């Protein structure tokens, strides 16, 4: 059975997926709830997590379109 994508592309896709998951994990935290929690506006949750996730999505596009030189 012939695969559509080469092994290198599949490895790059897996790494990109892991980066996306790490970005989403950085955005997770304790909710504000009844008492105001200023941690919901922290640098990690508002800036760092989305930037890492965006990098993961961009690298996923690269991983799918990448062609190795012959």
- Cα→Cα distances 61→12, 14, 31, 38, 70, Å: 10, 12, 32, 35, 21
Q: How far apart are CA 54 and CA 22, in angstroms?
A: 11
Q: Domain map of the chain by residue range? A: 7-65
Residues 47, 58, 18, 20, CA torsion sign: positive
Do 5 and 63 contact (CB within 8 A), yes or no? no
Give the pLDDT band of residue 51 (cuts 50, 70, 90).
very high
Digit-coded pLDDT (tens) for 8-39:
999 999 999 999 999 999 999 887 778 888 88
The pTM score is 0.87
């Amino acid at each position: 059975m012939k695969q559509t994508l080469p092994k290198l592309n599949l490895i790059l896709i897996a790494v990109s997926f892991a980066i996306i998951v790490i970005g989403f994990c950085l955005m997770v935290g304790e909710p504000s709830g009844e008492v105001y929690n200023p941690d919901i506006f922290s640098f990690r949750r508002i800036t760092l997590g989305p930037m890492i996730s965006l990098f993961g999505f961009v690298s996923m596009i690269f991983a799918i379109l990448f062609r190795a030189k012959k």
